[in-house]
Amino acid sequence: MENFNNVTYMTHPLIKHKISRLRDKNTGTNEFRKLVEEIAMLEGFEALKDLPLEDVEVETPIETCMTPMIAGRKLAIVPILRAGLGMVEGILSLVPSAKIGHIGLYRDEETFEPHEYYCKLPSPIEERTIVVCDPMLATGGSAIDAITMIKKHGGKNIKFMCIIAAPEGVKKLSEAHPDIQIYVGNLDRCLNENAYICPGLGDAGDRIFGTK
């Protein structure tokens, strides 16, 4: 696998452990949802480590001091529907004041091409750090289209977070949008003939929402 300098792979043992629990076909909806949220929180911790700080004055019970707080740019979390929704609460637990946009895309089951059905972003989007989330980066088509859409609306500072990626998707996304930062929970082996990630975890949306 080529090295892309805009891609960060998670190495934390807690993330690895939780992803292994997600993969297990016997993990039920309830636990699956909880794990997706927890992994999103742990990945978010890494993805947001460059948030700018500024010193502000605070009065402690002892004295007044200058102390750092998150500065400037506000955060927008943009899940790709449906499965991305499962990651929102985890990221929100880190930045409760974040605004939330939604992008609706589904993959055609035969062509694997993404189709857009919804887009609503918080404004002004151009002033925000935008975290696009989707548990699965398979062919990369959905993530590429979602980010293209956000850029068309004026979004600039964009990060993409996924839980499992296929090498094909990482390459395609990284080449299509070399200016964004990509955070990957685990890089899996390949795609199968149905463009599912192997070993993967199956259909993330169905497992989060208990459909099928």
List active site positions.
107, 111, 203, 206
CB of 16 to ligand PRP, least distance (A): 21
**Binding range to ligand PRP, per CB under 6 A, among 35-43, 50-58, 86-94, 133-141:** 133-141
53-59 and 64-70 beta bridge pairing: antiparallel
139 scored as a contact of ligand PRP (CB under 6 A): yes
CA distance 53 to 44: 17
CA distance 90 to 95: 9
Residues that bind ligand URA (CB under 6 A): 83, 136, 138, 196-197, 200, 203-205
Nearest to 95 by CA among 133, 139, 67, 124: 133
Nearest to 198 by CA among 209, 187, 207, 206: 187
134 scored as a contact of ligand PRP (CB under 6 A): yes
Q: Which of 4, 9, 45, 112 binds ligand PRP (CB under 6 A)?
A: 112
What are the backbone dihedrals phi and psi of residue 202, each rounded to the nearest 5 degrees, phi first?
A: 90, -150
Eight-class DSSP state of 50: T
**Binding range to ligand PRP, per CB under 6 A, among 8-16, 86-94, 136-144, 149-157:** 136-144
Residue closer to ligand PRP (CB basis): 122 or 202: 202
200 binds, among ligand URA, ligand PRP, none (CB under 5 to 8 A by kind): ligand URA
Look at the block and give the residue holding tokens 């927890």. 38
Query: Residues 190, 21: contact at Cβ < 8 Å?
Result: no
Residue closer to ligand PRP (CB basis): 105 or 180: 105
Nearest to 146 by CA among 106, 109, 181, 186: 106
Which 146-185 residues touch ligand PRP, going by CB under 6 A? 169
Which residues of this protein are in contact with ligand PRP, per CB under 6 A? Answer: 80-83, 105-107, 112, 114, 134-143, 169, 195, 203-205
